[in-house]
Amino acid sequence: MVRIVFVIPSFSGGGAERVMLTLIKHIDRKHVEPILIVMNDQGPLRSLIPSDITVYDLKTVRLRNGIYKLINKIRNLEPSVIISTFTHINVTLLALKPLISKPTKLIIREANTPSRSLKSTHSPNFFRFMCRHYYPKADVVLCSSALIENEMKEKFKVPTSKIFRLNNPIDIDNIRSFAPVPVNHKDFAKYFVAAGRLTHQKGFDRLLVDFAKTPRDFCLIILGEGPELKNLTKQIKSLDLQKRVFLEGFKENPWSIISGADAFLLPSRWEGMSNVSLEALACGVSVIATPEAGGIREILKFVPQGSLTIAPSGEHFVKALVKTKTTHIHENRPSLLPNDWDVVNVTKKFENIILNTI
């Protein structure tokens, strides 16, 4: 039995957390004993933890205040493998690897494109140095897109032998079971949905500017929580969008809302591979994304024609919205997501990577 410790900062509603929790849920218990360490046991995704998983809450908001607890807990658990997917935790674990039992393997997953994401940290130069110095020391580096793979090789000099492509695991059947009857907004000619943490990265501010240029009978629902909530609320008012743009917060089941949309919108300034966009495709909903939105454009050749549109923010994005076909459907559409992203296939590959690493 292989003991694996997963490390995440919290149960906030981000895609990286959801990916980790999905892998934990579906990994084969016959071969693997998954254990979860969380820095702070808070957030809406807490309910997704399977009942058979042991969770250790370090009860600290900041990593630097919980480093001793984290290393001590790992040493006590004596895992075969440690898995982390957040840059600040990745570099911390790699830097402190000498304090962990030597047989323990360290697998890191990079969820974003560091060339962009590190600029948003409080110390970009420091984290860039740490990534360049320590990422090559990982036993395995998991990448969700070719874009991230290339950055790992070219910017951080990670050996090709350590880099593995692992698609985001999407539980297609489960997602579709939560959306048997799509939610429609019949009072509007077209109905769009966007979702994600309300942060600068996600680009909802520029989406609002674009949406203000669409016909007044277009509706937009934005799902998610985050620090930009007040600013976005003010922006909606200043653009006179109160009657057709709605901030509806975090939803445990966003898929019934997404599945009724004419299109899902991804206006991100940077991404690794947008998890919620993949979920939208699994719901049978087409996606309109900006070129900067990471690896999503890489699946263009794998999805049906017209189901994924790449359009720069501004005039081209507005045109894509206007050209979107109206659906007003009352039942689920067939999934548009290729099976390479299905949770069963991804988890099997994940297990093989682990077993071949130890």
Domains of the chain: 2-169+342-357 (3.40.50.2000), 173-339 (3.40.50.2000)
Q: Taking a C-beta distance cutoff of 8 angstroms, is the pair 257, 223 a contact?
A: yes
pLDDT of residue 331: 72
Separation of alpha carbons 260 and 210, rounded Å = 21
Other beta carbons less than 10 A from residue 341's beta carbon:
23
Other beta carbons less than 10 A from residue 183's beta carbon:
15
Which pLDDT tens digit goes with each residue over 278-293?
A: 999 999 999 999 999 9
Average pLDDT over residues 199-215: 97
pLDDT of residue 182: 67
Separation of alpha carbons 201 and 179, rounded Å = 28
Residues near 316 by beta carbon (within 8 Å), at least 6 away in sequence = none
Of the spans 12-21, 22-31, 207-216, which averages the highest pLDDT?
Answer: 207-216
Q: Taking a C-beta distance cutoff of 8 angstroms, is the pair 138, 106 a contact?
A: yes
Please, which contacts does 235-241 make with residues 24 or more away whose CB atoms are closer than 8 Å?
235/205, 235/208, 236/208, 239/208, 239/209, 239/212, 240/212, 241/208, 241/211, 241/212
pLDDT of residue 328: 66
Give the strand pairing for 245-247 and 163-165.
unpaired
Other beta carbons less than 10 A from residue 353's beta carbon:
15
The predicted model scores a pTM of: 0.92
Residue 123 has pLDDT above 90, yes or no: no
Average pLDDT over residues 239-244: 97
Exposure string of 210-248, with b = 16+ CB inside 10 Å and e = fewer, is bbbebeeebbbbbbbbbebeeebeebbeeeebeebbebe
Q: Taking a C-beta distance cutoff of 8 angstroms, is the pair 200, 228 a contact?
A: yes
Residue with tokens 């203000």: 212
The residue type at 147: L
Distances (CA, A) of 43 to 11, 229, 232, 249, 252: 4, 17, 21, 13, 11
